[in-house]
Chains A and B, each alone.
Chain A
Amino acid sequence: MAGVRLEHVYKKYPGSDLASVKDINLDIKDKEFLVLVGPSGCGKSTTLRMIAGLEEISEGKLFIGDRLVNDVAPKDRDIAMVFQSYALYPHMNVYQNMAFGLKLRKFKKADIDKRVREAAKILDIEHLLDRKPKALSGGQRQRVALGRAIVREPQVFLMDEPLSNLDAKLRGQMRAEISKLAKRLETTVIYVTHDQVEAMTMGDRIVVMKDGIIQQAASPEELYNHPTNIFVAGFIGAPSMNFIAGSLTDKGGELRFKADGIDVVMPEGKAKILRDKGYANKEVILGIRPDDFHEEPVFMEASPNTIVSAHIDVAENLGHEMILYMNGIGTQAVTARVDGRSTLREGQNVKLAIDMNKAHIFDKESEQNVFEN
């Protein structure tokens, strides 16, 4: 197994002045499960394809272990890839599909057999070894594609949206299985997804990308609790963080955030940082996660300075939680997540307290998180 290092990596396509991937610097540790996440066109797949050797690196260096591999062919990089549009070899059965890479590398028959059967056992496809791909379900095919990668025992696994062709239920199952598998194989995994739930549940570390640039690379907890800018804050977490444009007013020893339908006091620690950085009496953007709205009386009594009133447009009860879509706070709809046993209903006016200790303030121009930069 080995780590992967990208140093100032760029990708420019011929005929285009703009780089699709810009100045990527990443040090992926041995045995780390790293997730590249971002919207369509953010450069995550291009980055993975450069690591795989399927795209040339326009500028910069790529190391697998200590070896510079910019000019090394994909087959010689000691990596295994599983892609969204993986194609199993239709004329071979499952066993042959998994064994082919090893056969090419001139492994002994006994070793091939051992590896294929071990991988099949891990993936629970031992009973399918004689079947051809077309006789398999989507989930089974996906397992075979994974098996083909596993038997290689590569230094690094590269996966590009490997679950996106599966239905939601199967995707959930396979997500857990890939995580388990990575731990069991103790291998380095670089995993691309557009799905922040996959990213948050699978990755040791997540790299959020936008427009070919890394926005933030951190652990799931760090990304959720300390997003570095509005993009990351809005991308990570479902439902998304609420953003309310308003101003900070410093009056009577209190720093208050004010906008239409909201007038709340910033906690002292945060107020000090905001004053020190010159944000008092300036326009900013307040970020509040849906979870940080509270209806519990105890919380409301303890935080009288952070109570807001809103009208519930839609209340979605998911059993264990209720999602409220409200208006009346700021100019846009605001989402809150409360306990599933809540008695709140659509059409009601409601008072909720905000946990301002968890609130984020973003610079209106740069959109950077004031507390994290």
Chain B
Amino acid sequence: MSDWEQLQHILKCPIIAEDLLVSDHSEWTSLEPGTVIMDQAESLKAIWRVDHRTLRQLTIKRSTWTDTEKALVQWAVTQQVGQGSAGTFETDSKSDGERKSRALGDWIVQQAAIGGTETVPGSLATDGRLYAEMIPFLLETDHAAEASAFSELQKLLASFLDEEVIVIPLKAQEWLVLAPVSLTRDTLEERDDQTEMLEDSLASIGSGLQEMLASEWIGECHLAVGRPMKPVKSIVQSVMLLQETIELGRIFEMGSNIHLPWNMHLERLLISIPENVRMRYVEQAFGRSDVFMEPETLSTLETFFALDCNVSETAKKLYIHRNTLLYRLDKLKQESGLDVRVFRDAVLMKIILLLYKVTKRT
């Protein structure tokens, strides 16, 4: 029987243990870790600080109290605080895991903000898997998750991947998931031709994961996948890269929810160019950026480039006749002076198209 259950049994009344965020209860910000506040209004409450961001509150509903009973509660709580644990209910042990993950998440966010390259401090790297190679997935949800999101996501991922994963909450609506590399080995080894690249395997796992999370958990969300890395050494750099990948993906890959850093080299380069330089370049290279205002031109060019400038395949994909596509490309050539069937012009048009997307959105 757990300590709180024993206390419930002795006092013959229900005891509710819950965790609160310090940020939601400014009145308790000054509470030192280990200090217990007893408050008796309609019920007796004991509040103490678990760590820098979490408070634990014990509510015991009972109208009358004797001094001995209050002393008993005080003693039981002090014992728990002294042990560095706030109870032995199953849910509490899970919250402990969440607290550790959140602490690591806070550290990653802090480090990422200053562009840090430090390894994870020993006090935060308590999970041995942080020393092994893991695949990082960064998840950004468009809707706020519920309070129970951490355990929900952890269970869902364990069930989906059939592997224990590490879930680290970062900012609001942003999660880092670390999965073992065995996940890709499975898919790679089963290839008959052994030619599938690691990146293809990561992309297909990412797509499946994103679709599952969208339909079975949170709805609209974006996911970036990175190459396997040792979290204890590279977690901050990996998170920074994946955050940038999603940011670029939202700008350059409208309509796609899975973003891969190895497909974003050109986009990363272009976004680093100062805005005024970008604008000037588009104006100089191509006076009429309003040509792109036509959705038809945009979708034609995007499909044409995605299919490696193959006219037949592009026409097929767009459900138009080959001659219709050629007519569109000729029209674009007339308006812009660039013939995208010629390599040099295609490169220039691709760059202008990307620059147009980023200037349009800034």
Contacts and interface: CB of A to CB of B under 8 A. Distances in A.
A27 B18 CA distance: 45
A228 to B, nearest CB: 24
Nearest to A54: B220
A91 B208 contact: yes
Contact of A89 (B160, B190, B201, B299): B160
Contact of A73 (B162, B191, B218): B218
A75 B156 CA distance: 13
B220 A75 contact: no
B248 interface: no
Interface string B278-316: 000000000000000001100100000000000000000
Interface in A182-218: 194-195
Contacts of A54: 214, 219-220
B183 A89 contact: no
B89 interface: no
A321 B214 CA distance: 47
A9 to B, nearest CB: 17
A175 to B, nearest CB: 15
Nearest to A105: B216
Given A104-B156, A132-B190, A134-B191, A91 B183 contact: yes
Interface in B232-287: none
Secondary structure at the A interface, as helix, strand, loop or mixed, is: loop
Contact of A75 (B183, B186, B215, B299): B215
Interface string B162-206: 100000000000000000000100110011000010000100110
Contact of B216 (A40, A101, A195): A101
A55 B295 contact: no
A55 B214 CA distance: 11
Interface stretch (A80-88, A254-262, A276-284, A301-309): A80-88
A87 B213 CA distance: 12
Contact of A55 (B156, B190, B210, B220): B220
A48 B218 CA distance: 17
B204 A87 contact: yes
B212 interface: yes
Interface residues of A, number: 24
Given A74-B219, A103-B159, A134-B187, A194 B319 contact: yes
A138 to B, nearest CB: 14
Q: B201, B208, B216, B295 — which one has the most chain A CB atoms within 10 A of its CB?
A: B208
Contacts of A81: 215
A90 interface: yes
B161 interface: yes
A371 interface: no
A81 B299 CA distance: 25
A167 B118 CA distance: 52
Interface of A: 40-41, 53-56, 73-75, 81, 86-91, 100-101, 103-104, 132, 134, 194-195
Given A54-B220, A75-B216, A87-B210, 10 more contacts: A53-B219, A73-B143, A74-B214, A87-B207, A87-B211, A89-B208, A91-B162, A104-B156, A104-B159, A194-B319
Q: Which 5 A-B pairs have the closest CB atoms?
A: A87-B207, A89-B208, A90-B204, A87-B211, A74-B219
